[in-house]
Amino acid sequence: MYDQPRANPSLAAMTFDQMLERVRYEGAYPTRERAEEAVRAVLAALGRQITGDERVDLAQCLPVEAALALTAQIPDTEQLTGWGFVKDLAARTGGTPATARWDTGAVLAVVSRLAGPDLLARILHQLPGGYALLFGQAELLQPQPAA
């Protein structure tokens, strides 16, 4: 029996240790333990925001330990904006919004590479405004018609 093809086979094979090293590099964290704290906190927060096929597909792209951090959370009934996500993460971790934003950027930069451009576009389409920048992407806004 054959496995289903994966979108990014080279990146999908990343181990949790390799993911932590990439996040440690992205975030310039002094220790692997600090990088792991950031990964677990940010993925838990993201798990409270995304639902449906995007949640399942993202979990499949991540190493098992990271996927468990993402899927262990029950999605919130009300989605947060990107800034709301950062503020909520800061409140839950006891950190500052600046630290939470730094952690989010370091983790989601690696997550976006693992997810690939197609899945990332689907995830961003599902989320409210402000998440593209958190994933290291440009956020293009459509002009609002004059009233």
pLDDT value of position 139: 73
Q: Are 105 and 136 in contact (CB under 8 A)?
A: yes
Whole-number mean pLDDT of the chain? 89
Q: Where are the alpha helices (DSSP H) in the chain?
A: 9-12, 16-27, 32-47, 52-61, 64-71, 82-93, 97-126, 131-134
- Residue 1: predicted pLDDT: 41
CA distance 7 to 53: 15
User: pLDDT, tens digit, for every residue of 6-65?
Assistant: 444 444 469 999 999 999 999 999 999 999 999 999 999 999 999 999 999 999 999 999
Report whether 119 contacts 126 (CB < 8 A): no
pLDDT of residue 69: 97
Q: 113 with 11: CB under 8 angstroms?
A: yes
Amino acid code (one letter) for 27: G
- What's the mean pLDDT in 69-88? 95
Give the burial class of 145: count Cβ atoms within 10 A of its Cβ; 0-12 exposed, 13-18 middle, 19 or more buried.
Answer: exposed
